Amino acid sequence: MPRILVSDKISDEGLAILRSGGPDFEVVCDFEITPEDLVRKIGDFDALVIRSRTTATKEVIEAGRRLKVIGRAGVGLDNVDIAAATRCGVIVMNTPEGNTVSTAEHACALMIALAKNLAETTASMRAGKWEKKRFKGTELRGKVLGVIGLGRIGTIVARRMQAFGMSVLAYDPFKTPEAIANEDCTPATVDEIVAQADFITLHTPKTPETANLISAERIAKMKRGARLINCARGGLVDEVALAKALEGGHLAGAALDVFNEEPPPADHPILKLGNVVLSPHLGAATAEAQEMVASDVAKQIVDALTGGPVINAVNYPSVDPAILPRISPFMELAEHLGTALSQLIEGAVKELRVTCAGDVTEFPTKAITLKAIRGFLKRTTDVTVNFVNAIPLVEARGVKVVTLNEPNAPTFDSLITLDVTLADGSSRRIAGTIFGQREPRIVQLDGQRIDASPEGTLILITNRDVPGVVGSVGMTLAKHQINIAQMNLGVDDAGRRALLIVKIDGQAAPSVLGEIGALPNILSVQQLAL
Ligand code: NAD
Ligand code: MLT
């Protein structure tokens, strides 16, 4: 029975989706849970739903013995230890779309309020004054806006403010100058923006590169009378230097929705200034955005717990639901090939190479590779291997993972090949394809052409290519009441050795395998459970 803990308040729509996720879904809401209680209780849950109040620390994640997924209703994941989650095989997902417009509108609203001094004029009138001469605003038309981080929110802010007649300079190191120009923005460096912009708005995540991006030095270099808006994350701006620049008159105003420390301490210098507009991290706090992020996270969690498509996971390859039916057979095939290969080898592994060739390379092959690794590992560990921890687990064993995509596949439309190199320098290879729409086949073993269905129990027998072997193997299995479901024979290129693959119902006991091994002309016998 999947149990879901919702530890931050999300909208009723989201809760309803979680509750109707399945007949046996149990949803527990504890919006006030303390960090200590969370560590104590999380072991009973399969999923954790959070916003920004809860911090999913390493301790929480490690205590989550059955935890499969953490869903954040919102964007920022600075309150989740993603590395710990990845190590423990826990999917971490957010809802990047739901609050984009709300937050962009918030940034625009702050910018307009700053230009027209609306916070100060409201305070002045509340104090019973009518100070028409004291306040003179500025037009946005014709001004230069600097957008730092031209992602989802930054792009909407740029578009909205262009409608006010602003020209936009944009910095985003992960966007090409063409992509920036396509938004009618001029690509610029941070320092160019700092030197030229009348308004600067920040829309980057907080990373080691963006922490203190608007430093004291950069604030000093901003245009006299410029204004700064931060609706992204606290820590991007040196708030003390900002307060000084506002107080000294170098900057005309600043608007902050996010702070280094939330809430900021009562003696924070920014709180004492008049020419600021402040909101307590409310960018996403609209009814529409909260409904959307809650519904999105709930649907994503239900899908993740019921084997549906996993989307918006930051540590798991997302597969577009539209292509899932076509890529799934290849993913399953890759897992079976990995499981088969792991049983063909003995000894330490140096390298595992996964090659996707032909038509299959049109798909995101990372999901196929991870399935191959999962198959390769799953019989050798009691940790649940999933898309999240497959690579860290295999690398922790000193195995180098190499992935290759080749546009052309020899002989087949698509071919997935797994090569393993052992520490003693020996290697083994297995390859498979999909016949028709969904029929998986192993088509190569160590360079030998074969044709076997990669499911159930297979007995691989190498033998001298002489008459009578197939009959004697069949008789031995029949003697032990073992039914043969399928039998395929391959001959190596030199034509001296044959590979007999017998698919049986159930499993053969080691004594039966020993009996087959002792038959005349048999060179080796191995049973694979797929
Ligand atoms: P996004 O991922 O769509 O955009 C972020 C952009 O920043 C990307 O285009 C990325 O390339 C760029 N970027 C990354 N590193 C950069 C760097 N060193 N310099 C410049 N640009 C860099 O994210 P988004 O949805 O647009 O969100 C932007 C920010 O807003 C995030 O920090 C998010 O947490 C925050 N946010 C705040 C609120 C709020 O309530 N105030 C709500 C939603 C999002
Ligand atoms: C986010 O990251 O989505 C925003 O900061 C809003 C929130 O914290 O919910």
Return averaged pLDDT per consecutive 10 residues of the chain, 530 residues in all.
Answer: 96 96 95 98 98 96 94 92 82 92 98 98 98 96 97 96 98 87 97 98 89 97 98 97 98 98 96 97 96 97 87 76 77 93 90 96 90 87 74 86 91 95 94 88 90 91 89 94 89 74 92 94 92
Domain 1-98+286-312 classification at class level: alpha beta
Whole-number Å distance between alpha carbons of 504 and 507: 7
Q: Which residue spans of the chain are classified as CATH 3.30.70.260? A: 459-530
- 281 included as an active-site residue: yes
What pLDDT does residue 382 have?
A: 63
Contact 107, 113 (CB under 8 A): no
Q: Is there an atom of ligand 1 within 6 Å of 292 CB?
A: no
Domain 317-455 classification at class level: alpha beta
Q: Is domain 459-530 in CATH 3.30.70.260, yes or no?
A: yes
Q: Is there an atom of ligand 2 within 6 Å of 99 CB?
A: yes
List the structure tokens of 123.
């305070």
Q: Residue 15: which of 289, 295, 287, 313 has the closest Cα?
A: 295
* Catalytic residue selected from 32, 139, 262, 395: 262
Q: Considering every ligand atom, which ligand is closest to the CA of 235?
A: 1
Bridge partner list, 50: 72
Run of H or E including 460: strand 457-464
Q: Which residue spans of the chain are classified as CATH 3.40.50.720? A: 1-98+286-312, 100-278
Mutate to test the pocket of ligand 1, among 8, 100, 103, 160 (most ligand atoms within 8 A of CB): 103
Q: Is there an atom of ligand 2 within 6 Å of 52 CB?
A: yes
Q: Is there an atom of ligand 2 within 6 Å of 96 CB?
A: no
What pLDDT does residue 342 have?
A: 93
What pLDDT does residue 383 have?
A: 65
Q: Specify the ligand 1 atom closest to the Cα of 233.
A: 32
- Model confidence pTM above 0.75: no
- 439 included as an active-site residue: no
Whole-number Å distance between alpha carbons of 147 and 170: 5
Q: In what order do the strands lie in the sheet with 91-93?
A: 26-29, 3-6, 47-50, 69-72, 91-93
Mutate to test the pocket of ligand 2, among 7, 10, 11, 52 (most ligand atoms within 8 A of CB): 52
Q: Which residue spans of the chain are classified as CATH 3.30.1330.90? A: 317-455
How many whole angstroms from 178 Cα to the centroid of ligand 2? 30
Mutate to test the pocket of ligand 1, among 106, 171, 174, 256 (most ligand atoms within 8 A of CB): 174
* Catalytic residue selected from 19, 250, 281, 428: 281
- Which residue is it, tokens 């031995």? 476
Q: Specify the ligand 1 atom closest to the Cα of 150.
A: 9
How many whole angstroms from 73 Cα to the centroid of ligand 2? 8
Count the neighbouring beta carbons within 10 Å of the beta carbon of residue 54. Answer: 23
What pLDDT does residue 37 have?
A: 98
Q: In Å, how far are 98, 330, 350, 412, 442 from 436, measured between CA atoms?
A: 39, 12, 35, 11, 14
Contact 215, 238 (CB under 8 A): yes
Torsion of CA 163, 166, 169, 175, to 10 degrees: 0
* Residue 435 amino acid letter: F
Look up the CATH architecture of domain 100-278.
3-Layer(aba) Sandwich (3.40)
- 66 included as an active-site residue: no
Whole-number Å distance between alpha carbons of 472 and 464: 13
